[in-house]
Amino acid sequence: MERPSRLNICSCKIVFLVLFVMMFAVLPAQLLAETSANIICKYSFDGSRYYYNFDVQNTSDTGYDVYDIMLGFQQNVPIDPNPDNQTFVNTLPVHCPDLWNCTVGYAYGGDAFYSTDWRGDSTSSGYIVAGTSLSGFAFSSPTPPPLNVPFSVDFYWSVGWGGIPYLSTTTCTPATAQEIVNEIGAVINDLVNSKFLSAGQGKTLNSQLALALQLFNKGKTKQACNALQDFINQVHSLVKPRGLPAYQGAVLVGLANSVNACK
C-alpha cells in the first residue's frame, strides 16, 4: 500500500485548520444575531435614595438562556473609576430573585452584577430561558435616573456554548404605587426565608400590604396611604437588636415612603 506523502498530510492539516478557523469566525456572529434581551427599569424616590427595580426579558431564539446580568456597566467595556462618570454610585442591595447571586456595588461602589450557578439544566439553575422574563433585580442609589442605563447579559446556548454577550441600554420610568407595594412584598418574603422575620411577622406585614394594594386598586388613595403608614409603624416596631436588622427595616420603610401618591 502506498504511504501518504508528507505533502498530502500537510495539505490535510491546512484544510482542517482553515475550516476550524472559519467555524469559530462564523459561529459567534451567528450566535450574536440570534441573541437579544430587553430590560424594563422602574424607579421610585423616598427623598434621599432612588429605588431601582429591573425586569429582564430574554427575547432571543429558543435555546439561548440568560445566566448573568450587568446593570450600569457592560462586559468588556472599561469602567471609569471616577464617580462622576459612572452610571450609579453608592448602590445598596434591595432584592434578588431566587437562585441568583447579587453583587451590588460591583464597580467602585456603583452598579450591580447578578449571576446564577449551574445546577444541571437551565430551569433548575434559574436561568432566564428564551421567551421569558424575570423581575426583582433591585437596588437603591442616591443617583437620579440616568438618561440611559447600560447593561449586558450573558447567554448559555443549549448545545453547550456559554459566554455569549449582548450589550444594550435602557431607560427608567416611575413605578406605580402597585408596583412598589409588590416589590415590598418580595422583600418581605426574602426576609422571612432568610429568618430575619418570623413567618407570623411576615404574614402581618403582608396583610397590611394586601390592604394597601386593594385600596390603591380601588382608587382610595388616602386610605391606601394610611394602610402604608400602619405598615411603616409596624416595621419600626420590629427593628430591634435581636429582631429585624436596621438596614432591612430601612429598605422596607424607604420603599413605602417612595410611593409618590402618598407624598
* Interval 169-208: pLDDT, tens: 999 999 999 999 999 999 999 999 999 999 999 999 999 9
Domain range annotation of the chain: 36-174, 177-262
Instruction: Give the fold, CATH level 3, of 36-174.
Output: Immunoglobulin-like (2.60.40)
CA distance 180 to 171: 18
Q: Which three cell numbers stand for residue 116?
A: 446564577
Q: Which three cell numbers stand for residue 204?
A: 402581618
Mean pLDDT estimate for the chain: 86
Look-up of cell digits 449571576:
115
Instruction: Report the predicted TM-score, pTM, of the whole model to 2 decimal places.
Output: 0.85
Check residue 126 and report its DSSP letter.
T
On the question of pLDDT at 32 being above 60, the answer is: no
Q: Which of 144, 56, 50, 148 is nearest to 97 (CA)?
A: 56
Q: Are 189 and 202 in contact (CB under 8 A)?
A: yes
Residue 33 — very low, low, confident or very high, per pLDDT cuts 50/70/90?
Answer: low
pLDDT of 162 reads: 67
Q: Are 86 and 79 in contact (CB under 8 A)?
A: yes
* Interval 133-171: pLDDT, tens: 999 999 999 999 999 999 999 998 876 666 788 999 999
pLDDT of 22 reads: 39
Q: Which three cell numbers stand for residue 26?
A: 462564523
Long-range interactions of 126-129: CB distance < 8 A, separation 24+? 126/97, 126/98, 126/99, 126/100, 127/65, 127/66, 127/67, 127/156, 128/56, 128/57, 128/58, 128/65, 128/66, 128/67, 129/58, 129/65
User: Residue 94 corresponds to which amino acid?
Assistant: V
Q: How close are the terminal C-alpha atoms of the chain, in Å?
A: 92
Largest pairwise CA distance in the chain = 96
